[in-house]
Amino acid sequence: MTAKKILITGASRGIGHAICRRLAASGATVTACGSSHGGELEGLVGELRGLGGKAYALLGDLSDPAVPPRLVKEAAEAMGGIDAVVSNAGITRPALLADLAVPDWDLLFSVNVRAPWLLAAAAYPWLKRERGSFVSVASMSGLQPYSGMGAYSPSKAAAIMLVRQLAQEWAKDGVRVNCVSPGLVRTPLTQAVYDSPEAKSAREALIPLNRVAEADADMAGIVAFLLSREAGYITGQNILVDGGLLDSIQTHIVGRPRSGSGG
């Protein structure tokens, strides 16, 4: 583990929670940020401290443009600096695009795109000084449209491009910027789906690796790797972590052969 002072948003549950645990276990000092679930966030910090790590909690609504720079400022003060940021927070508002309300479009872009940009911009002086790293968590929905999910896919596609552009602009400073795009992941938000054996089996059958990802086992380690010295020559990349799901679309077309040379 190279980064030692890390700010993480969307930390109270799911993937963000798992990332905090993995990084703290690697010896990092963590500032865990959330916009809600304050009790769970404090519980996470207490857990990390109980494991012997240093951890802090900050709350703030990322749809407010004043919040990302405040989180960076307070995290840097608490930890004595910042050498990595993990922008994990994201939201959804299901709707057909023809029916989508303008405030919902704006809200998704403010949290899923503008907030990572503002976090990055505020943290840039620290990251430049430390030759640090920025990792954004997007989604496979940023690579393929997710019909009925309103602005979610457009916002995640924009988040991926944001990472690529930041990587180019900051490469001269030795600051690496990368992205992780999860596929289907079991989290508290999706747990109700997997409580149904039929729904769980149907989803697993779609995935070439034949299982749904776990936040701890399958997601947190990818982020830890991207922040590590071993990934020191990787920047501007989006790592799709979906068990092969998106590339398997042609195998789901009825009548297509599953082996041989037919097309």
Choose the catalytic residue: 56, 124, 146, 152. Answer: 152
Q: What residues does 49 pair with on adjacent strands?
A: none
Distance of CA 31 to CAs 48, 66, 87, 135, Å? 11, 18, 12, 15
What secondary structure letter does DSSP report for 65? T
Whole-number Å distance between alpha carbons of 66 and 64: 5
Concerning whether 152 is annotated as a catalytic residue, the answer is: yes
DSSP string, 38-92: HHHHHHHHHHHHHTT--EEEEE--TTSTTHHHHHHHHHHHHHTS-SEEEE-----
CA distance linking residue 41 with residue 37, whole number of Å: 6
Type of residue found at 213 = A
**Coil, helix or strand for 85?**
strand
**Which residues are known to be catalytic?**
152
